[in-house]
Chains A and B, each alone.
Chain A
């Protein structure tokens, strides 16, 4: 069952390649594939929710020797969220991606990217994780450069170089881990690393992993590639990257620091908290000076990553639960924001706040599609952002980390300021060129439908916060008690 999230995108990617010239078949297959993936992932989520952690030993090699695929509740939540977003993005791509890009392999790359993401979410083996990350990175390299505009190519250079550097660090860290523990199975590793917990070597490896995934998930001070590259490809691709790539980096960090390195909390978690604070602050300050919607939202990605990271730094069960809820919230809300920005661009032909204007006057529906997720990101009740931040702040109060709570609240206020800036400039102020007011460009139904669904889902996440947060708490309880994971993978032998 849990191998399907990897197989489906692979299979469909190959089929799509055979229909290289037929655009209709390609996009239909892309939607079918992601739809199928969503159904499978809903089933996996229900299975894991009812019956606990699911494990598959690939090729039937017993656990520490072969590659294990493991899905616990946290992975299942991530799988479900990413596949919902992927499905909606596949629908949006019908009108959101121009013909040239569709011709040159956008759809197969989309599938390969999903395969890499799902692979990293289900794998229980360190080196296998590296391979999935490379699958994901290669697809994203091509996706970001596809189209070949000057800014895109330049953004791609920065993105590629820094991500390759991160991969090298990741590989080195794997080598050192193998040297220390003699295994790469994550469950087995968790046991072996406990035995050497007093050693400073474990801390070195932990920090090396922290830096490698820190680059990939864009934390302070390693985020500089993100605002330089994320705004350059078409907005659909940006939404895809913001929903999947940095969040998978964050998923891996949470996985590593709860499963493999829970004993080094004193040292690494101080670093994590400090870095989280700066990530939140620098992200939101960077956004304040931007006038391009995409760049502004890119800086907000960084700022929001800081919140998730803060939950990991606090390192209590409640804080991790809040981080998981935050991950789901931000994947939905951020995708909605990027996609509605794409709709704005399709009407007025620009992302520049100085040129935009007057959208609220005759496009109230469209404005709401921006306003609701924007208020959610800013953290106003009753939206999901409010509950996510509330959870983090309660967790912070419990661990008496008052400084970071204060910072989180200030950053939240500044996020609101930033979102009102977009609202005022793009939707309220009269447009510079009055001809925009009379324009009645139709926005394609292929854009309306997914954006409306995702906004509705985002609002529902806030309205149903209580039951969903309980699921997140269950996931966090599993994460904070690694013995469950270890027992599920290695069996009752130990």
Chain B
């Protein structure tokens, strides 16, 4: 089981990184989501996977021979909530980017490096000449 989980987490990481390298913003978002799942799955396997053993210890009975560690589940729960919030923000941001720039292609987003105002001025000039 652990082996299967490890393979699954690895595949998710690989696909996530592949998607994050795509040019389309929506695909990058999918990549980030998949990476989040991959990290959660990794956390899930942080404690040995046990079946049919108690997660809580009765103080009277003492520590049983086998017990499941509940901490990773608690961590995943927190991580899922955080990634939910982050995803919500990222979706709104992408929508906003499309509204402002009119493109979903990351290659066209170079205004941070080459000032876009000069381009606009140039295109305005070209229009005037025409």
Enumerate chain A interface residues (CB-CB to B < 8 A): 127, 130-131, 134, 137-138, 141-142, 145, 148-151, 153-158, 160-161, 164-165, 167-168, 171-172, 174-176, 178-179, 182, 184, 228-229, 231-232
Q: How far is the CA of A5 from the CA of B57 in the complex (A)?
A: 35
The listed residue (A160, A165, A179) touching B90 by CB distance below 8 A is A160
Is B100 located at the chain interface by the 8 A CB criterion?
A: yes
Cross-chain contact B109 with A154 (CB below 8 angstroms): yes
Nearest B residue to A156, CB-CB: B93
Q: How far is the CA of A5 from the CA of B97 in the complex (A)?
A: 35
Cross-chain contact B47 with A179 (CB below 8 angstroms): yes
Kindly provide the distance from the CB of B106 to the nearest chain A CB, expressed in whole angstroms: 7
The listed residue (B71, B89, B101, B112) touching A138 by CB distance below 8 A is B89
A153-B97, A157-B109, A168-B39 known; A176 and B82 CB under 8 Å?
no
30 A-B Cβ contacts within 8 A? A127-B75, A127-B78, A134-B82, A138-B85, A138-B86, A148-B100, A149-B100, A150-B116, A151-B111, A153-B93, A153-B96, A153-B100, A154-B97, A154-B110, A155-B112, A157-B94, A158-B112, A161-B20, A164-B35, A168-B16, A171-B39, A174-B43, A175-B43, A175-B45, A175-B46, A175-B75, A178-B43, A184-B71, A228-B113, A232-B112
Beyond contacts A154-B112, A160-B89: 11 other A-B pairs, Cβ-Cβ < 8 A, are: A141-B93, A153-B93, A153-B101, A154-B97, A156-B93, A165-B35, A168-B32, A168-B38, A171-B43, A172-B43, A175-B45
Q: How far is the CA of A366 from the CA of B82 in the complex (A)?
A: 44
Q: How far is the CA of A157 from the CA of B25 in the complex (A)?
A: 9
Kindly provide the distance from the CB of A284 to the nearest chain B CB, expressed in whole angstroms: 18
Contacts of A148 in B (CB 8 A): 96, 100
Kindly provide the distance from the CB of B60 to the nearest chain A CB, expressed in whole angstroms: 19
Contacts of B90 in A (CB 8 A): 160, 164
Is B14 located at the chain interface by the 8 A CB criterion?
A: no
Cross-chain contact B112 with A145 (CB below 8 angstroms): no
Nearest B residue to A178, CB-CB: B46
Contacts of A142 in B (CB 8 A): 89
Cross-chain contact B42 with A172 (CB below 8 angstroms): yes
Q: How far is the CA of A449 from the CA of B38 in the complex (A)?
A: 49
Nearest A residue to B79, CB-CB: A171
Q: How far is the CA of A160 from the CA of B106 in the complex (A)?
A: 13
Q: How far is the CA of A127 from the CA of B109 in the complex (A)?
A: 35
A161-B28, A175-B39 known; A151 and B45 CB under 8 Å?
no
- A-B contacts counted at CB < 8 A amount to 105
Greatest chain B CB density within 10 A among A150, A154, A175, A176 is at A175
Q: Which 9 A-B pairs have the closest CB atoms?
A: A175-B43, A178-B46, A171-B39, A154-B109, A179-B46, A175-B42, A175-B46, A168-B35, A228-B112
Contacts of A160 in B (CB 8 A): 89-90, 93
Kindly provide the distance from the CB of B80 to the nearest chain A CB, expressed in whole angstroms: 11
Cross-chain contact A229 with B100 (CB below 8 angstroms): no
Residues 35-51 of B contacting A (Cβ, < 8 Å): 35-36, 38-40, 42-43, 45-47
Cross-chain contact A141 with B89 (CB below 8 angstroms): yes
Greatest chain B CB density within 10 A among A130, A172, A231 is at A172
The listed residue (B38, B40, B82, B116) touching A151 by CB distance below 8 A is B116
Q: How far is the CA of A157 from the CA of B107 in the complex (A)?
A: 12
Nearest A residue to B94, CB-CB: A157
Q: How far is the CA of A155 from the CA of B96 in the complex (A)?
A: 13
Contacts of B116 in A (CB 8 A): 150-151
Contacts of A167 in B (CB 8 A): 86
Q: How far is the CA of A232 from the CA of B109 in the complex (A)?
A: 13
Q: How far is the CA of A232 from the CA of B69 in the complex (A)?
A: 46
Nearest B residue to A157, CB-CB: B97
Q: How far is the CA of A168 from the CA of B34 in the complex (A)?
A: 10
Cross-chain contact B46 with A176 (CB below 8 angstroms): yes
Contacts of A154 in B (CB 8 A): 97, 101, 109-112
Greatest chain B CB density within 10 A among A138, A150, A167, A168 is at A168
Cross-chain contact A165 with B20 (CB below 8 angstroms): yes
Contacts of B45 in A (CB 8 A): 175, 179
Contacts of A153 in B (CB 8 A): 93, 96-97, 100-101
